[in-house]
Amino acid sequence: MASGTPNVPDYIFAEKIGTGSYADVYKAYRKGAVREVVAVKCVLKSNLSKSALDNLVTEIGILKRLRHEHIVEMKDFVWDDKYIYIIMEYCSGGDLSAFVKSKQRLPEAVCQRFLQQLAAALKYMREENVSHLDLKPSNIFLKSHRNPSLKIGDFGLAQLMPEDDTNSTIKGSPLYMAPEIVLKRQYNAKVDLWSVGVILYECLFGKAPYTSKTMEELIGKIKKEKPIEVPYGTNISSECRDLLQQCLQRDVNQRIDFDDFFNHSFVDLEHKPGPESISKATELLTRAVNFDGCKEYENAYKNYSEALQYIVPALRIEPDATKRAALRRKVVEYLNRTEELKKILKSDNEAVRNTKIPQIERQESSSNEYRGNRDELIRLSSTTPQIQTAMEIAASGELYAHEGNAAIALEKYQLALGKLLELLQNEPKGRRKDLLREEVKRWMTQAEYLKAITEGSLNSTNSTASVSIPEADVEKNCSIQ
């Protein structure tokens, strides 16, 4: 597309970040003191057919009414003699298609988290009677690379469609399109649930179920009545398998409906992290601790387990590394107590057997699960907040290092070590001093390694990958400048 340079007053255009048959998308900055970053979809008027213009009008109308944390926000639209400009929220993490390709396949826990976000957006869209009709990984964006949050975008084919309405116009991308659309049959809003099933399948297994080399081969696969099967030898939970099979029913009458989808145990919208998660968890934990103190272990176990279902997802999205480190320690404490109660109650207890206890994923841990004697040091420092605070800062440095942000990790280590070295000098001889010296030595070694990375003495080939940090294994003096 080329017909003069797109220009929107009050915005400075940067690089092109996307292109299509009748529109290009640019990264742009709002002029002024606060340079807000946006994405501008530039639609060339001369390329618009009547149907494309109708779709554009519908898209703008739908985007004006949609406001949800997991839907790309339209901020404004303007036009001049050549272009129509749709000014959108900018998502710096790219699209889900590229993310899956970079990882090859995603762990089930990550797939579930992404699915919850898509489901929350779809539930809101159903309330607004909006069907997307072109859900696919390249139309789903990541707000950022860190703590990725999905946003549904590109509503160019979307329609206002109550659940019981039907249509027959072919819309979407064949690889993600429900069979009834490809086969030119009547279809309804449940086509979006087929697409969600295909997206989940691709996230789990690295490719869509009907992946083909040619369009002819693809259409041939879609026309066959053979049901989609989970790849042989893959290990996924029964809940995940059940949802996949229900979404990918070729017969629309057998396919899961929206209410059952939103209430499915694998989608688990009730425990999607949000503003209320910590308060709900706190209420349940208070009850659990009270029951525990009264030796009402079954009630204590039930409340601990329910609390963890709220607090573990909240831990995953906490943006502040220091708070996340502190929260994680509490989660580990409650997980350990829940496991102890499980042993007390025995596995033949039906309530215990059927209770779901979430686990902390490996990537949530600090420094590859290293704990050493740190828990003992934390207990011995319970009356010394200066030591606790400094250790929390250093622990947040470990999290930043694990997430690949060496520069911020180094800053955290330097700040923490400045405090800890001073405290260590004044610490009387004893077990606590020995443990504190052990932690300081280890963090110094890690900080020196990070310093070498940030100064270029070591190669860091991927700035977004986790940093593999060596452990302190020798007695030596380390200085951080």
State the catalytic residues.
134
45 is in an annotated binding site: yes
Say if CB 28 and CB 10 are below 8 A apart: no
**Tokens read off for 21:** 């048959």
**Residue in the block written with tokens 């298609």:** 97
Three-state SS at 458: coil
Pairing of strands 150-152, 140-142: antiparallel
Three-class HEC string of 332-352? HHHHHHHHHHHHHHCCCCHHH
Q: What does the CA dihedral 262, 266, 267, 268 come to, rounded to 10 degrees?
A: 90
**CA 154 – CA 140 distance, rounded (Å):** 8
Which is nearest to 178 in space by CA: 140, 239, 132?
132
Reported residue count of the chain is 481
**CA 306 – CA 291 distance, rounded (Å):** 14
Say if CB 89 and CB 139 are below 8 A apart: no
**CA 454 – CA 462 distance, rounded (Å):** 13
Which is nearest to 199 in space by CA: 229, 175, 216?
175
**CA 44 – CA 66 distance, rounded (Å):** 24
Concatenated DSSP letters of 60-88: HHHHHH---TTBPPEEEEEE-SSEEEEEE
